[in-house]
């Protein structure tokens, strides 16, 4: 049963008609001296899926994921998401940006929850006029439901040199899962501060 559930997350095309895995996401929008540097993603999984991953990969059953166990989680329950753009869909000034790789993946167990963290590099140089960065995270098969955390879903880091505005909005012009579900987007606009 555990293996079957893992396969369904790793191969989401095997899903049925409603979510079975629930993920709360927080996006840390990271800036450097040039502008946007990328997005640090935190996913917190539901307790049922978390317990299955713990049973499968916490080999010494100490409720802590050591490096070798994190490597096993990455290989067995995360890496295949590259085929699905890591459930991350980005547009920069209206143009799609493909998430072809991520950096700094880690996993942890805390309070009965599985937590993934990873960085999506995405460099966008800031100018004197606003640039628009949009990111939506979802599983196109709707086996997994990704929803923004209720508390501080978007966090800005290193943004002091920029004027930044952000909001979360449902995109009613686009849909996935047979046109039944609209993506919820984090919309971030930014430019260099005057003076």
Residue range 170-180: average pLDDT? 94
Residue range 141-157: average pLDDT? 95
Query: What are the pLDDT digits (tens) for 15-63?
Result: 445 789 999 999 999 999 999 999 999 999 999 999 999 999 999 999 9
Closest CA to 144 of 16, 7, 23: 23
Q: Identify the band that residue 14 occupies on the pLDDT scale cut at 50, 70 and 90.
A: very low
pLDDT mean across residues, the chain: 92
Does pLDDT of 170 surpass 80? yes
pTM for the full predicted model: 0.89
Which pLDDT score is estimated for 195?
57
Q: Identify the band that residue 12 occupies on the pLDDT scale cut at 50, 70 and 90.
A: very low
Distance CA 122, CA 173 (A): 24
Distance CA 160, CA 150 (A): 24
CA-based max dimension of the chain: 60
List, in order of start, the domains of the chain with CATH numbers: 2-192 (2.70.170)
Which pLDDT score is estimated for 9?
55
In a 10 Å sphere around its CB, with 0-12 CB exposed, 13-18 middle and 19+ buried, how is residue 25 labelled? buried
């Amino acid at each position: 049963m555990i293996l079957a559930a893992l396969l369904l997350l790793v191969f989401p095309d095997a899903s049925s008609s409603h979510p079975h895995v629930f993920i709360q996401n927080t996006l840390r929008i990271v800036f450097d001296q040039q502008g946007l540097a990328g997005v640090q993603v935190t996913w917190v999984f539901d307790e049922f899926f978390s317990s299955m991953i713990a049973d499968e990969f916490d080999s010494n059953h100490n409720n802590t994921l050591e490096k070798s166990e994190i490597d096993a989680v990455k290989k067995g329950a995360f890496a295949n998401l590259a085929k699905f753009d890591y459930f991350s869909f980005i547009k920069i000034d209206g143009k799609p940006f493909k998430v072809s790789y991520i950096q700094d993946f880690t996993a942890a167990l805390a309070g009965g929850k599985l937590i993934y963290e990873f960085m999506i590099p995405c460099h966008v140089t800031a100018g004197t006029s606003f640039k628009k960065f949009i990111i939506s995270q979802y599983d196109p098969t709707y086996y997994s439901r990704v929803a923004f955390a209720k508390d501080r879903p978007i966090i800005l880091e290193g943004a002091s040199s920029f004027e930044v505005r952000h909001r979360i909005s449902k995109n009613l012009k686009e849909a996935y899962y047979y046109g039944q579900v609209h993506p919820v987007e984090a919309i971030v606009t930014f430019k260099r501060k005057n003076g």
